[in-house]
Structure 1
Amino acid sequence: MRSIKKVHKAEYRPIADLITYSPMPTGSIQMIDPFLFLNHHGPQKYPPNNNGLPFGPHPHRGMETVTFILEGDIAHKDSGGHKSVIESGGVQWMTAGSGLIHAEVSSEEFKKEGGDLEILQLWLNLPAKYKMTKPQYLGFQKDQIPTISLDDGKITGQVVSGKLKEVAGAFDTFTNINLATLKFEKEAKLELSVPIEHNIFFYVINGEFDVNENQVKALNLVEFNNDDEQLQINAKAGSTLLFGHAQPFDEPVIARGPFVMNSLDEIDQAYSDFQAGKMGEWNE
């Protein structure tokens, strides 16, 4: 079985009235190449007439965002002309590439009515050859994302990208990153084989698992060594897992604010291009 290097506890970092846990980066881990960043917002219940999510217009370059709407919704808008409202169970995939401005806020209906909210946002690196690619955005609702059922129905999930047990994901990607969200009933068991050269992303959203005979509780991220292909996952309670794996890029990573590039010069250029309006216009 693949051995565990370390289990990292998410740090609590609220944003205004938004409950937020940050599993990565923290004081104990910077990244798991090519996985850069994860914020876990909620779970929480918003009252009627709330302000919604606080993520107004801001730029990105050189990376991708994958947003999992577990509860609630997100109204997306960007300077490339894309707009959508993605609801509970849906996923957004934005390739910032050469640069764009976007906002992620709650729908007018959610702000008026309130309700449960829980959202994950994962940042993925882009390799140097794709950092200046044309920006793209896709948002899929729950019923547009392929599902999977394992262990006689005791495990159900969504295959977001790549493949899981031969089920192909909803999103075609530049970098062959495999992502899925999986819900386990208590005592459900799953065995997976991951190429030894791939880095694994394993975040426990809720519940508790034994993975390769190690106990991992909610709000913890598992960092694995690259020494075996096999994973054995046993749910100790009803549990939800964000699972991914990918070939590392093994390139320099320089992250400053919303930009992720390969050098400081490229970061400086990104700020200059943003200030010069080269990442698009923002019209309310």
Structure 2
Amino acid sequence: MRTIKQQHRAVSAPIDDLVTYRALPTRSVEHLDPFLFLNHHGPQTYKPGNRGLPFGPHPHRGFETVTFILAGDIMHEDTGGHQSIINAGGIQWMTAGRGLIHAEVSSPEFKRTGGPLEILQLWVNLPARHKMTEPRYVGLQEPEIPRISLDEGRVSLQAIAGEWAGTAGAVQPLADIALATVYFRAGGRLALTIPADHTIFCYVVRGQLRVQDQPTEALHLIELNHDGDDLHLEAQSDAVLLLGHARPFNEPIVAYGPFVMNTNAEIQQAYQDYQAGKFGQWRG
């Protein structure tokens, strides 16, 4: 069984009136290759007539964003021509690749009526060979994502990418990345075999769990060593877990603002390309 290296508590990092906890990077952990960044927005309740999410048009290059909508909704638009409104239980998977501009805001309906909101956004690196790939976007509502019932119904797993309990995830990433959202009822148990050379991404969104028989709770990222292939999870209360794994790329990571590349020169080129309009033109 793998051992736990460290538990990292997410830090408060509000954005305007949006409650936000940053789980990665923090002072205690920079990244978990190839997982680069995680923001946990909410939970909070918006009043009717709100401004919604504050993420207006901004560029990206060199990685992928995976957005998990647990409550509320998110409206996406990008210079690749993609548009969608994804509701609670759905996900967005955007491959920035060579570069695009996108906005992630609340729908007009949510801004009008308000309601609960909780959203996670994870940045996943792209290997050097795919950093300049053509951008793409997949937006899926909850019914479009395979759901697996385990432990006599006490565990429900949304298979987003990779293979889970023999079920293929809804998204086929460019790299071999596995991601799932796991919902536990109190007492639910999940045992998985994950290759020892894979990085495990394990973030507790809600509730209390025992991971490798060690207690943890919401807003904690669990960093595990590469010394075994067994992962054991047990819920002490109803809980939600963001779980993933991938083989590390073991490539240089140079991140600056909205760009993640392998060299400083590539970062400078990204800014030049963006300023030259090579990421597309925003309609607004």
TM over 0.5: yes
Question: What does residue range 21-100 of structure 1 map to in structure 2 within 5 Å?
Answer: 21-100=21-100
1:103 corresponds in structure 2 to 103
By how many angstroms is 1:125 displaced? 0.2
Question: What does residue range 138-157 of structure 1 map to in structure 2 within 5 Å?
Answer: 138-157=138-157
Question: What does residue range 177-196 of structure 1 map to in structure 2 within 5 Å?
Answer: 177-196=177-196
1:237 corresponds in structure 2 to 237
Query: Whole-Å Cα distance in 2 between the matches of residues 258 and 170 of structure 1?
Result: 26
Deviations 1:91-139 (A, max 9, x none): 0000000000000000000000101100000000000000000000010
2:215 corresponds in structure 1 to 215
List runs of 5+ in structure 2 lacking aligned partners. none
Query: Whole-Å Cα distance in 1 between the matches of residues 280 and 122 of structure 2?
Result: 23
Q: What SS class does the counterpart of residue 152 from structure 1 fall into?
A: helix
Which residue identity does 1:73 align to in structure 2? D
Which residue identity does 1:153 align to in structure 2? G
Query: Whole-Å Cα distance in 1 between the matches of residues 104 and 190 of structure 2?
Result: 34
Question: What does residue range 256-267 of structure 1 map to in structure 2 within 5 Å?
Answer: 256-267=256-267
Query: Whole-Å Cα distance in 2 between the matches of residues 159 and 263 of structure 1?
Result: 34
Which residue identity does 2:50 align to in structure 1? N
How many residues are treated as equivalent by the alignment? 284
List runs of 5+ in structure 1 lacking aligned partners. none
1:161 corresponds in structure 2 to 161
Deviations 1:117-167 (A, max 9, x none): 000000000000000000000100011000010000000121000011111
Deviations 1:59-83 (A, max 9, x none): 0000000000000001100001100
By how many angstroms is 1:11 displaced? 0.3
Query: Whole-Å Cα distance in 2 between the matches of residues 28 and 193 of structure 1?
Result: 27
Query: Whole-Å Cα distance in 1 between the matches of residues 58 and 83 of structure 2?
Result: 15
Identity of aligned residues (%): 57
Q: What SS class does the counterpart of residue 53 from structure 2 fall into?
A: coil
C-alpha root-mean-square deviation of aligned residues, in Å? 0.5
By how many angstroms is 1:190 displaced? 1.1
Task: Report the TM-score when normalising by structure 2.
Answer: 0.99
